[in-house]
Structure 1
Amino acid sequence: MSGEQETSTRICDHEGCEEPGKFRAPKAPDVLDEYYWFCKDHVREYNAQWSFFDGKTEAEMNAQNSADKVWERKTKDYRDPEARAWARLGIEDPHQVLGDNATRNPGRGAQNSGRRLPPTEKRALEILEVERAETKAEVRKAYKKLIKVLHPDMNGGDRSQEEQLQEVVWAWDQIKDSRNFK
């Protein structure tokens, strides 16, 4: 693949040369679809002197190299149509869907007001004597308070409240694994 055009009937465009012009070379960096036709010797000479980046700054060269990586096609911003949809859910980055925001519904207001909890979690809150809690930390405070009251070590070895203690421990297990509390 030498670039030679076997069917060319042109004469070399180099001044004073009568050889057949079988090799083409662009006339200028801005005019890449118009060519000079040279013989083999003159096309080598022309190519050795010619540079696409002559007269361009380093920034222009870097921009051209970047554009060439994608065949000079502009890339589409993937966030345009989706950004508004994610923003309605309070998510700036779509990958947050798998993070903390995945379990929150910002349209419902407070955690317990208007929120539907599974029956086991409702029962757990009743056992822990918690009317309204938004975080696991608040529920844990109530759990610790009940443990201190019900545990036999805190009551001088009295085991009469052991069944109630087991219910409190069960209730905390339900809440600590829950996704409904922060």
Structure 2
Amino acid sequence: MCSAPGCSQPGEFRAPLESGHRSDFDGPGDWRFLCLDHVREFNQRYNFFSGMTAEEIAAQQRPYAGWERETRAFSAAGADLPPKWADFHDPLDAIQARFRATRPEERKDGRPLSGEDRTALKVLGLEVDADRRALRERYSELVRRYHPDRNGGDRSHEGALQKVIEAYQLLRKAPAFA
């Protein structure tokens, strides 16, 4: 039954007690059950922050409230343990740390390579740290190898030649080879 005085409706909706007792480590807190009309009335006047100090209100309203606790969403069922949020200053590092071993190799000079650049380097058979000179030399070598004029008119390598030309055109304009 509804716990509102004088109401005989079924109490289907849970609401915290007016005393302000909140859930803590000792249990979920104290509840009462109200009918639809009385729970609507309760919700209109309910203030979560009543009885809190200014510091407690600020702690509840900070943007990262709750992130310092691990939850089931970050459980390690079937995978290696995720990093603890407290171990990182930047939350993005926590996300990236798990995948750092699978990231593609970076250039030693720090110049960026896109996925297309990496694919083009594979077509030419070059390493990630190749420089502009190595790019030109490898391009010249492959063009001589696949060009029909150098193969006695054999046109079976035209597809490979076209891929080499496209890869070179892409890489010579790439920031890593500028």
Same fold (TM over 0.5): no
Compute the TM-score of the two structures, normalised by the length of structure 1.
0.37
Which one has the largest radius of gyration? Answer: 1
Q: TM-score, normalising length from structure 2?
A: 0.37
